[in-house]
Structure 1
Amino acid sequence: MTAPTLTHRTQILPAVDPYQVAAHYLPADRANAVGGDWYDAVPGISGRLTAMIGDVAGHDMAAAARMSQLRSMLRAYAVDRDESPSALLRRLDAANHRLGDPSVATAVVAALDTIDGRHRLRWSNAGHPPPVLICRDGRVRTLSGHDILIGVRQYARRHTWTCALPPGATVLLYTDGLVERRGHSLDDGIARLNRRLAASAHGSLADVLTAAGSDTEQTDDIAMIAIRVPAADR
């Protein structure tokens, strides 16, 4: 399987009505432009959008190959199945164990849909840094709740968490390279990220990603994907 080479720049991805989507990838290995982080966003059944992000250990071609395999399997499940985020991660974990030596990875699967005219987010977290919800009034909320990493236990119990998305809100998924800094805890890094994001609440998705990536001490791959819901409910 050929590992994908992702560009180290911000990408405005094709819109999935009614959502806007943008992403950014910056590998630690600038020479080969490959690594173990990935992001994805795929349209699903009944107007659902499923966004995914993950991180396989390593920065080399082997890590990129393992990443590509996990990403491809998860993408296929998300397109084919009308299932919860936790169910998709359970399927990924089962396949990961049955197809040889399992790859250990963190991941978040987040599904956005509309119920009775209001937008909703459901997510499942396999040992990954928590998603962030950015409201138009500048409030920033860390979306807690997580389970065990992918590849550790074949039949690990997984949960789906749910929250309402206010009009114009942005959901940011990211990998740990964005918030890591020598001599500081991950919680410190997430708190710094949230402060940067609060100032970008009224900007474009590119502004959000630029703010998120500023003041970052990069020692690992960085991947981000941001999804924005319409400013007014339908």
Structure 2
Amino acid sequence: MEQGPQREEPPHRGGPRPGGPPPDLRTELDRIHEQLHTLTLAQERLRGLLDAVMAISRELELPVVLHRIVTTAMELVDARYGALGVLDENGDKLARFIPVGLSREEEAALADADLPRGHGLLGHLIRHPEPLRVEGISSHPQSSGFPPGHPPMRTLLGVAIGVRGQIYGDLYLTDRRDGRPFDSQDEDIAVALAGAAGVAVENARLYERVRSGAETFQRLLLPRLPDLHPFEGAAVYRPATVPGQLGGDWYDAILLPDKACAAVIGDVVGHDLKAAATMAQTRNMLRALLYDRRTPPALVLAKLDRTLQAVAGSSVATACLARIEPRGREWSIRWSAAGHLPPLVLTPDRRAEYLYADPGIPLGVDPAQPRPDHSRPLPGGSTVVLFTDGLVEHPARPIDACLDETARVAVAHAGEPPERLCRILADHHPSDGHDDLAVLVLRVPGGSPAP
């Protein structure tokens, strides 16, 4: 069937067909879309910068802070390599250099290379601590080249990290992953991060000074163990990871006039100057009370409790006091606890046993309450381990599991000298480090006691 002639529509004058935007409007829409995309990227980078500043400010350990600064800067500007140069006290050369981004092969190739000395572009940034952007490192007049085995690098962005006008070090970023040189936005991001990094570095350095001072003060309050012959003894103290926190952990061991060896470990409740002062008072009082010949540990703790109530007021403390003494041809351990964890005994044949018994109540709670004494034979050559709860307490783990883990470590190293065994137990503790810890190790002479 034939169709009639088709009617042609006249061409649309003045631009594209109806329904499509005119060219100038389409160009404007493309420009707005590009601006929105750029704004979105800027917001994402700003959000990333804020997150990075918060993450850096939460760190207190200086090595962690320094490494975190470099990795964060690399993420924000998408750099392939990064490094942080820490200046010496005079501020004229590098004392530390922390590179990030090298592969294992690249690290191996640079294993014998010396620490960068701050020459070339690194030295230029040290002498002129303004932001530096370089599109061609090798062609820059200040460039001094790379050592053998160094990966090739083309572009550089460097900014100084300062703390109240004092330059601490310099942050170096090289080679964006997209191959383009660093731009002004990258520089703004790096400068902003360097400002926050300066504050974080200052906080970390202050943390180190406070922690070091608190630890020194705490150690000055603790005794150096005297000669305990024929026994062997050693002790170790480790502060908590919380900055500037004073602890109440203490220990002592002395040889008594009746040839028994007394060992005690305790923990005053609190983490302040009052706890530290009470700890020193408690230790000194206990030494005086121990010199009564053959006084049972429970009676000594009862006297100590009454004395503390009169001198230190309402302070509360836990303690475990043990006497290792000869009984005929055997050794014996006699102990009493005041709300403290039980002693751990390691026998010469490498068996471990906690001396579970009535733990009593802490010192400073009710001096009128009776305190129990406990006693049992002790083979010659045995090792007695006393410790505070900072060694075994972890909020996410049962205390029994932590005690079992400590016993396994002790058994595995039972033949070590007391000093080394102390360090091993403190180094491999199952706790979370929120509290200070103390360990006291006492080794009984082998064989039977002398008449």
Q: Given the two structures, how large is their TM-score scaled by the length of structure 1?
A: 0.90
CA contact (8 A) 2:225 2:252 kept: no
Q: In structure 2, give the amino acid aligned to 1:199.
A: A
Give the 3 Å change call, closer, same or farther, for CA 119–197 of structure 1 in structure 2. Answer: same
> 1:150 aligned to 363, 372, 377, which one?
363
DSSP 3-state at the match of 1:164: strand
Aligned-partner Cα distance in 2 for 1:166–1:100: 39
Are 2:376 and 1:163 equivalent residues in the alignment? yes
User: Can you list the C-alpha shifts for 1:79-111, whole angstroms capped at 9, x where unaligned?
Assistant: 245310000000011112233523111000100
Matches within 5 A, 1:1-234: 5-6=218-219, 13-28=225-240, 34-99=246-311, 101-145=313-357, 146-216=359-429, 217-234=432-449
Deviation larger for 185-194 or 25-34: 25-34
* 1:29 Cα deviation from its structure 2 partner: 6.4
Q: In structure 1, give the amino acid aligned to 2:446.
A: A
Deviation larger for 177-186 or 96-105: 96-105
Aligned-partner Cα distance in 2 for 1:4–1:114: 37
CA contact (8 A) 2:269 2:275 kept: yes
DSSP 3-state at the match of 2:424: helix
CA RMSD of aligned residues (A): 2.2
Aligned-partner Cα distance in 2 for 1:40–1:47: 16
* 1:143 Cα deviation from its structure 2 partner: 0.6
Going by fraction, where is strand more abundant, 1 or 2? 1
* 1:5 Cα deviation from its structure 2 partner: 3.1
* 1:157 Cα deviation from its structure 2 partner: 1.1
* 1:43 Cα deviation from its structure 2 partner: 1.9
Give the 3 Å change call, closer, same or farther, for CA 150–76 of structure 1 in structure 2. Answer: same
* 1:206 Cα deviation from its structure 2 partner: 2.3
Give the 3 Å change call, closer, same or farther, for CA 29–156 of structure 1 in structure 2. Answer: farther
Q: Which blocks of at least 5 consecutive residues in structure 1 are unaligned?
A: none
Aligned-partner Cα distance in 2 for 1:195–1:47: 31
Going by fraction, where is helix more abundant, 1 or 2? 2
DSSP 3-state at the match of 1:227: strand
Give the 3 Å change call, closer, same or farther, for CA 16–82 of structure 1 in structure 2. Answer: same
Q: In structure 1, give the amino acid aligned to 2:317.
A: A
CA contact (8 A) 2:383 2:444 kept: yes
Q: Which blocks of at least 5 consecutive residues in structure 2 are unaligned?
A: 1-215
Deviation larger for 135-144 or 208-217: 208-217
Q: Given the two structures, how large is their TM-score scaled by the length of structure 2?
A: 0.48
CA contact (8 A) 1:12 1:22 kept: no
* 1:14 Cα deviation from its structure 2 partner: 3.2
Aligned-partner Cα distance in 2 for 1:97–1:210: 34
Report % sequence identity: 36
Q: In structure 1, give the amino acid aligned to 2:428.
A: D
Aligned-partner Cα distance in 2 for 1:166–1:177: 29
CA contact (8 A) 1:29 1:60 kept: no
CA contact (8 A) 1:117 1:233 kept: yes
Q: In structure 2, give the amino acid aligned to 1:150.
A: L
DSSP 3-state at the match of 2:446: coil
DSSP 3-state at the match of 2:403: helix
Larger Rg: 2
